[in-house]
Structures are given as structure tokens and as C-alpha cells.
Amino acid sequence: MKLTLGFSPCPNDTFIFDALIHHKIDTEGLEFEVFYDDVETLNHKAIHGELDVTKLSYHAFAYVANQYVLLDAGSALGFGVGPLLICKGDEQKAYEDLKSENRTIRIGIPGKYTTANFLLSLAFPNAVNKQEIVFSDIEQALLDDRIEVGLIIHENRFTYQDKGLKKILDLGDYWEKETGCAIPLGGIVANRKLPLDVQHKVNRVLRRSVEFAFANPKSGLEFIKQHAQEMSEEVMYKHIDLYVNQYSLDLGIEGKKAIQLLFDTAKEKEIIPEIKHELFLTPLV
């Protein structure tokens, strides 16, 4: 059986999917046609129901829970892994401006449906003058004075200081202090049109792929490098260490609790619509 599969070219995704797409593990007869896209493109593809299995932001999942179900394996959750708000000038002044009633501050975000944007809306509800920019271009937009504040994700948290940019706030820390929970960033979902046994098969195969990656961390090095946009090997593995952890193997009770809290909080703040479907993979009888 051949399924369409979407994930980003970022090291955490290529790390966990390497064994699956290159048949280094038993895929139980599944074949995959792979699409590599940035996370916001994947979010939009999910909104249009284009893929059988895909990575997406948890914020976006709130809008597609009627079409997709969350798998137990493959997620990016954790502590100290949240998006960062950064600026070129005085970080304290930028923070005060964001907290004020000033709605004119130009903010570059990596996408409307990213979890990063959800956290920004939660922490700074007056921050509404947003410009969507591909995540890898936000630092340069700040340096060029096209925006005043940048919301960065992925490997940019390791590079912004080298460019003289300054941290205003770690939105992951903000979430953790507010809730005591890990921050849910992105997950892997399966189309609800797939038979339940196929959804579980994908989940098993994906977990197997993550287990293989943990046991053989250098196995996919060339594949990861191929998609890493000239990133150094050191930064690649810092990125992987940050976003791939026990929640990537299995959400477990704590992971599911954090995700449910994220959605309950977002619904209470009217950031997302009401979700009427079960979020998590239904157990096989």
C-alpha cells in the first residue's frame, strides 16, 4: 500500500523518518511518496486534506481534527524547545512595546497556523501586526529593518546571536511557567479516511523508525545533511537533540495532557474553533 507523506526538511524530521522511507526497518508493506515542505506549507496541505500522513503544527491540527487523527509517535514536545521572540535593538524596550496597547509593531511570524503564532497570541494579545515570512528568512528581515520583532523556530534559535540579534522572550519558557507542561510544537497525523488498522500500522512503523534513529544516530547523516541547508553537523545534532525525545516515541499520558491543555487554553482564549472529534488514535479492539 502506497501512502503520501509530508514532513519538513528540518533535521528532527529527516532524523526520525530516515529509516522509514529508506526501508531500514520493517514497514509492514507500506510504501511512501514523500513531500518535503516547510511546516506552514504542510499546515495548509493538511487544511486541504492533500496528504495521507503529514507533519503539522499543533495549532494547525485544531483546524483539521475533523480530517486527521494524531498518531502516538513522531511528535515534537518538550521543555526548553519553544519559539523565541527576537529583535535587532533594545530587547527590554521591545518587550515593553509588545506588552503595551501599541498594535503597530511589525512582527515577522513563520506562519499563521504555527504553534509559535498561537503562543505569541497567548502571551501578547495586542501583537496583531504580523507578517508571514518563511522561518529561515526571519533573521534577515530583522537585519534589513523590514520587521521590528521576529518569531523564530527550528535551528534559528542556534544562529540568531551570531548575527547580533537579541532574545526578547522564550515563548516555550512562558508556556512552561504558565502550565508546568511540555510545549507541544508539532505532531504526525493520519487521514481519518484511512482504515483504522492502516492508521495503527503507520504508527507502529513510525515508532520503529524513531527507535532505529535513536539506536543508530549517524545512520541517516547523509540524508539529514542533504536537506539541512548548509547547516553544520554540530547544529544539526543540537537541533535533533532539542526536538526528538521520549515524546517522539510515544506521547504517553503526559504528552496527551499537554496537548489537551494547549487546545483547552486556545479555545478559552478564542484562538481556535471548538474541536468536536477525538484527537488521539483510537485503540484497536
Total number of domains constituting the chain: 2
Of 59, 154, 200, 239, which residue is the catalytic one? Answer: 154
Domain that holds residue 143: 84-179
Say if residues 68 and 202 touch (Cβ distance below 8 Å): no
Cα dist from 127 to 77, 231, 263, whole Å: 25, 31, 20
Q: Annotated binding residue at 14?
A: no
- Residue 190 lies inside a defined structural domain of this protein: yes
| Lookup: cell for 113 | 497556523
48 counts as catalytic: no
Most confident of 155-159, 160-164, 197-201, 224-228: 197-201
Q: Yes or no: say if 39 and 251 are a contact pair by the CB < 8 Å rule.
A: no
Rounded to the nearest 10°, the torsion over CA 84, 70, 6, 44 is -70
Q: Tell me whether residue 258 is in a domain.
A: yes
| Residue 201 counted as an annotated binding residue | no
Pick the last residue of a domain from 127, 147, 179.
179
Identify whether residues 65 and 193 lie together within a single domain: yes
- Please give the C-alpha separations between residue 75 and each of 209, 222, 255, in angstroms, as whole numbers: 13, 23, 9
169-184 residue pLDDT tens? 999 899 999 899 999 9
0.85 exceeded by the pTM?
yes
Taking only the tens place, the pLDDT of each residue in 112-154 is: 999 899 899 989 988 999 999 988 899 999 999 999 999 998 7
CATH number of the domain residue 257 falls in:
3.40.190.10
Is residue 136 marked as binding? Answer: no
Q: Which of 130, 163, 179 is the last residue of a domain?
A: 179
Q: Are residues 158 and 89 in the same domain?
A: yes
Q: Is residue 41 part of a domain?
A: yes
The answer to whether 56 is a known ligand-binding residue is yes
Residue 281 falls within a domain, yes or no? no
Is the pLDDT at 230 greater than 80? The verdict is: no
Task: Over range 64-71, report the average pLDDT.
Answer: 97
Do 244 and 164 lie in one domain? The reply is: no
**pLDDT over 70 at 160, yes or no:** yes
